Amino acid sequence: MKTKNIKAYGTLASDAPLHSMNINRRELQPHDVEMEILYCGICHSDLHQIKNEFGGTKFPIVPGHEIVGRIAGVGEHVTKFKVGDLAAVGCIVDSCGKCEYCEEGLEQFCDDGVTFSFNSPDKYLGGVTFGGFSETYVCNEKYVLHVPPTLDLAAAAPLLCAGITVYSPLKHWQAGPGKKVGILGIGGLGHLAIKIAKAMGAHVVVFTTSPSKVDDAKRLGADEAVLSSDTEQMKRQSKLDIILDTVSAALDVNVYLNLLKVDGTLVLVGLPADRIPVGAFNIVHGRKNFAGSNIGGIAETQEMLDFCATHNITAQIELIKMQQVNEAFDRLQKNDVHYRFVIDMASLKNN
């Protein structure tokens, strides 16, 4: 298959910094679009992957799955996009399209294995897929999203992973008017969860270990903010219908299971590397649910983008140049970001 050589930023090893490199993208197939990447968000899972914290990372790796750009070319059979359209690519860039989950719009659970934006087996070129820390992305139009023009493009980039990661479980467990929703943590996921749950009509309670973030939680739209290290505040907390755990580090989920109403659900969306002990009686008493959720399908991701455009929801970001990406990952590892880094991809051309 013919390829095109482009600029990218990646790394050759888990203990090596990201640096400029060249990668190949496939030439357009009949149903493909080529997107010039304008902005790409930095996600905590990018950090996990480049450090090989989950195991299985294939090097070299080019991360990035919160990709916003403009269509630069289309295959002969493309019908959904034209050159010049604003578009986005999130976590999913391929699936079998035939299994029960793909047919239900749940491509993230594809029986044959979903293809992710980076570090997944590349069905076209062999090796693995390369992500959005690059000049362009080529993808079948089925997995490409329309970006509502009212959204700020840079601040919309984190919606492609962080946004759908919290939107999907909030929708699935029916957050809305009359429901009390708890959000654990105010980071890249948590700050968007506050905005989205509030826009859905829920009463939003935020739990944070940081006194400095209590006021920030209310600024973001929370109805209540609880300092989880304050025993008295925790004792006074009333029962919740849903709790979304957005924290990427291990915490005592049993404390929060005890804050659920009967039939309430605690949903894990953060990805701590350590195991999470769960006390049996904390689930059995009150018929409670400890669940997990993983991004969303293509149709639901488009729905989320449209919802966010309607409610004027974007991420709070720090816009950086590609040359600052290693510093950004160092800061992300220390949780020193409010609340999401986004790369201005025009800076890649200066390498």
pTM recorded for the entire structure: 0.96
Kindly state the percentage of the chain with pLDDT values over 90: 88
Using pLDDT thresholds of 50, 70 and 90, give the confidence band for residue 94. Answer: very high
CA 334 to chain centre: 19
Q: Which residue from 271, 248, 244 is spatially nearest to 260, judged by alpha carbons?
A: 244
Residues above pLDDT 70, as percent of the chain = 100
**Residues whose CB falls within 8 Å of the CB of residue 341, separated by 6 or more in sequence, listed in order:** 41, 42, 317, 318, 320, 328, 331, 332
Task: Break the chain into its structural domains and give their ranges.
Answer: 3-158+317-350, 162-292
The span from the CA of 3 to the CA of 18, in Å, is: 23
User: What pLDDT band is residue 52 in, cutting at 50, 70 and 90?
Assistant: very high
> Is the dihedral angle over the CA atoms 86, 299, 310, 133 positive or is it negative?
negative
At residue 275, φ and ψ (nearest 5 deg) are -70, 155
Q: Tell me the average pLDDT of the chain.
A: 95
Looking at residue 276, its pLDDT comes to 87
Is it the case that residue 4 has pLDDT exceeding 90? yes
pLDDT 10s digits, 102-117: 999 999 999 999 999 9
**Domains 3-158+317-350 and 162-292 in one fold:** no
pLDDT attached to residue 80: 97
Residues 242, 182: contact at Cβ < 8 Å? yes
Query: Is residue 250 predicted with pLDDT exceeding 90?
Result: no
**Measured between alpha carbons, how far is 227 from 340 in angstroms, rounded to an integer?**
22
Q: How confident is the model at residue 248 (pLDDT cuts 50, 70, 90)?
A: confident
Give residue 258's pLDDT: 95
**Whole-number pLDDT of residue 192:** 98
How would residue 274 be classed by pLDDT, with cut points 50, 70 and 90? confident
User: Taking every pair of C-alpha atoms in the chain, what is the biggest distance, in angstroms?
Assistant: 65
Q: DSSP assignment, residue 11?
A: B
DSSP H or E stretch at residue 317:
strand 317-321
Classify burial at 324, counting beta carbons within 10 Å of its beta carbon; exposed 0-12, middle 13-18, buried 19 or more.
middle
| φ and ψ at residue 60, rounded to 5 degrees | -70, 155
Task: Give the C-alpha separation, 224 to 182, whole Å.
Answer: 9
pLDDT bin (cut points 50, 70, 90) of residue 212 is confident
Residue whose structure tokens are 């990447």:
37
What residues are paired with 184 via a beta bridge?
A: 207, 245
Look at 11-20, 33-42, 51-60 and tell me which has the smallest mean pLDDT.
51-60
Find how far residue 335's CA is from the centre of its chain: 16
pLDDT for position 156: 98
Pairing of β 67-74 and β 86-89: antiparallel
Interhelix angle for 188-199 vs 162-172, to 10°? 40
pLDDT band at 61 (very low <50, low <70, confident <90, very high): very high
- The pLDDT, as a whole number, for residue 15 is 95
Summarised one tens digit per residue, pLDDT across range 101-157 is 999 999 999 999 999 999 999 999 999 999 999 999 999 999 999 999 999 999 999
Give pLDDT, residue 168: 98
**Tokens found for residue 300:** 């639901």
Q: For domain 162-292, is the CATH number 3.90.1150.10? A: no
Residue 60 preceded by cis peptide, ω within 30? yes
- Which whole number is the average pLDDT over 266-270? 94
Q: Report the alpha-carbon distance of residue 281 to residue 278 in Å, rounded.
A: 9
Closest by alpha carbon to 116, among 64, 186, 72?
A: 64
Instruction: Provide the pLDDT for residue 183.
Output: 97
Give the C-alpha distances (Å, rounded to integers) separating 56 from 119, 144, 244, 271, 337. Answer: 9, 26, 27, 16, 27
**Other C-beta atoms within 10 Å of 350: how many?**
9
Span 157-169, pLDDT tens digits: 999 999 999 999 9
- Span 57-72, average pLDDT: 98
Would you tell me how many other CB atoms lie within 10 Å of the CB of residue 30?
Answer: 11
Q: Classify domain 3-158+317-350 by CATH number.
A: 3.90.180.10
The position carrying tokens 């002990």 is: 277
Task: Report, as an integer, the average pLDDT of 186-198.
Answer: 96
